[in-house]
């Protein structure tokens, strides 16, 4: 199948990605052009054969001109074939050069992409490190909060101990209870002394009864015989006294004296017992009051000291907790601010690097697009030039007249068949 002018004009190559036109389409088009040129060559060969036949029949000078024309046509055909081969090789060279440029640009883009990826990975690692630092500071802040909680617990325990009175106050209370017990014991001793006084009173009453009995005995006549016997009575006071009764008349004064002495002794015992009891009671009361006042003073002093110590400890704990909290907050805010600032800087650098890379890639894309457009324009101009040249050659082949102007007499009508070469005449008649 030969290639027409319309087919040459309507042929369009398809782009195969970034590698230029599809080689299969170009090869098919070139094959069609070659087929057309082969057809033209065969036509020229046929004409040459005819010319050779005419030359064999004696064409003369016209045959020489015809041979020259045929040789010129053959040279033109060879020249066209050379141009076609050169165009094919040039197009292949341009496609190869463009492919090499595209490969180089692709390698550069891959290298830049790898560089950007490594930079982004490094930025990600730096951001992860900053996040780790922020986590460590958060842990430190958590430790400070736990320490603050422990201080608050200690303060609460101290308040609880103060509310309960404290160990020292409890000790003072126990000591006060011991003093109260001692006072009770002293009071018991006073009661015992009073019981002893009462027993002495009872003894005195017994002695009084004995004196009464003695008086009654002395009043009887049986006692008169014994008036000569002395009676010794132990006296209470400066020492023992001896009373001698020698007559009945002396018995009554003796009894009276004895009764007086017993009464004095009883009164002295009662007075001494009361004095001793009052002394013991006053000493016990004084001791109890002293112990009570000392215990109250010690308890009040201990309570005041404990409250002062608790207030001081509470204030110190609050100040320490406030200081720790302020330091932790300041450190956390500083760390957070630094991390946010570094993260923003990393994001800014990444965005800037990405914009720069995209700008470079867009610039390279525009440059490649310009080269591809230039290649398309070259291909279009080459096709138009080649098509125009083929049209001119085809038109020249159609318009050129291969038959010389001076027609031999043997080829004129009416003369054929009368020559001496009937075979040539028959051949010419068959062709026409």
Q: Is 408 left (phi over 0), alpha (psi -120 to 50) or beta?
A: beta
Q: Tokens representing 32?
A: 């069609």
Q: Tokens representing 348?
A: 């800014």
The predicted structure's pLDDT at residue 221: 47
- Residue 422 near residue 410 (C-beta atoms within 8 A): no
The predicted structure's pLDDT at residue 225: 42
Q: Tokens representing 275?
A: 């004095």
Q: How far apart are CA 311 and CA 13, in angstroms?
A: 97
Q: How far apart are CA 283 and CA 193, in angstroms?
A: 14
Query: Per-residue confidence of the chain (432 residues) as pLDDT tens digits?
Result: 555 556 665 666 665 555 556 667 777 777 777 777 777 777 777 777 776 676 565 544 455 665 676 677 677 667 766 666 665 565 556 556 666 766 776 677 677 777 767 776 776 677 677 667 767 766 776 776 677 677 667 766 766 665 555 565 566 667 667 766 776 776 676 677 667 767 766 776 776 676 666 656 655 544 444 444 444 444 444 454 555 555 556 656 766 777 777 778 777 877 887 788 788 778 877 877 887 788 788 878 888 887 888 788 888 888 888 888 888 888 888 888 888 888 888 888 888 888 888 888 888 888 888 888 888 888 888 888 888 888 888 887 777 766 667 766 666 665 555 555 566 566 656 544
- Residue 261 near residue 233 (C-beta atoms within 8 A): yes
The predicted structure's pLDDT at residue 423: 62
Q: Tokens representing 63?
A: 């045959």
Three-class secondary structure of residue 192 per DSSP = helix
Q: How far is CA 205 from CA 254, 312, 402, in A?
A: 19, 71, 198
The predicted structure's pLDDT at residue 228: 43
Greatest CA separation found in the chain?
246
The predicted structure's pLDDT at residue 202: 74
- Using a 10 angstrom Cβ sphere, with 0-12 exposed, 13-18 middle and 19 or more buried, the burial of residue 20 is buried
pTM over 0.75: no
Q: How many CB atoms lie within 10 A of CB 310?
A: 16
231 DSSP β-pair partners: 243
């Amino acid at each position: 199948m030969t290639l027409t002018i319309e087919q040459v004009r309507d042929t369009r190559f398809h782009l195969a990605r970034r590698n230029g036109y599809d080689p299969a389409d170009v090869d098919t088009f070139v094959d069609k052009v070659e087929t057309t040129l082969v057809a033209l060559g065969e036509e020229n060969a046929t004409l040459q054969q005819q010319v050779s036949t005419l030359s064999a029949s004696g064409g003369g000078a016209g045959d020489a001109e015809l041979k020259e024309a045929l040789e010129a046509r053959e040279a033109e055909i060879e020249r066209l074939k050379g141009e076609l081969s050169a165009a094919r090789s040039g197009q292949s060279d341009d496609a190869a050069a463009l492919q090499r440029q595209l490969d180089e640009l692709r390698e550069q883009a891959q290298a830049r992409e790898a560089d950007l990826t490594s930079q982004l990975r490094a930025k990600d690692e730096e951001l992860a490190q900053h996040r780790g630092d922020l986590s460590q500071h958060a842990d430190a802040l958590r430790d400070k909060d736990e320490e603050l909680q422990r201080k608050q617990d200690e303060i609460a325990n101290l308040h609880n101990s103060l509310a309960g009175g404290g160990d020292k106050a409890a000790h003072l209370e126990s000591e006060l209870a011991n003093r109260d017990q001692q006072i009770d014991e002293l009071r018991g001793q006073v009661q015992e002394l009073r019981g002893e006084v009462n027993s002495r009173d009872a003894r005195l009453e017994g002695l009084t009864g004995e004196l009464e009995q003695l008086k009654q005995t002395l009043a009887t006549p049986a006692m008169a015989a014994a008036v000569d016997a002395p009676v010794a009575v132990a006296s209470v006071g400066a020492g023992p006294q001896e009373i001698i009764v020698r007559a009945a008349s002396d018995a009554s004064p003796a009894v009276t004296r004895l009764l007086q002495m017993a009464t004095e002794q009883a009164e002295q015992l009662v007075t001494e017992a009361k004095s001793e009891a009052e002394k013991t009671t006053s000493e016990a009361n004084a001791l109890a009051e002293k112990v009570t006042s000392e215990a109250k003073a010690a308890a009040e002093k201990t309570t005041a000291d404990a409250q002062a110590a608790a207030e001081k400890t509470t204030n110190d704990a609050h100040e320490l907790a406030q200081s720790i909290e302020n330091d932790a907050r300041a450190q956390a805010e500083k760390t957070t601010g630094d991390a946010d600032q570094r993260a923003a800087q990393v994001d800014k650098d990444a965005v800037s690097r990405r914009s720069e890379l995209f700008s470079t890639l867009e610039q390279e894309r525009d440059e490649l697009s310009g080269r591809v457009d230039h290649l398309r324009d070259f291909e279009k101009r080459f096709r138009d030039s080649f098509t125009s040249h083929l049209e001119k050659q085809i038109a020249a082949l159609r318009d050129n007249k291969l038959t010389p102007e001076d027609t031999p007499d043997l080829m004129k009508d009416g003369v054929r068949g009368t020559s001496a070469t009937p075979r040539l005449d028959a051949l010419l008649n068959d062709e026409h």
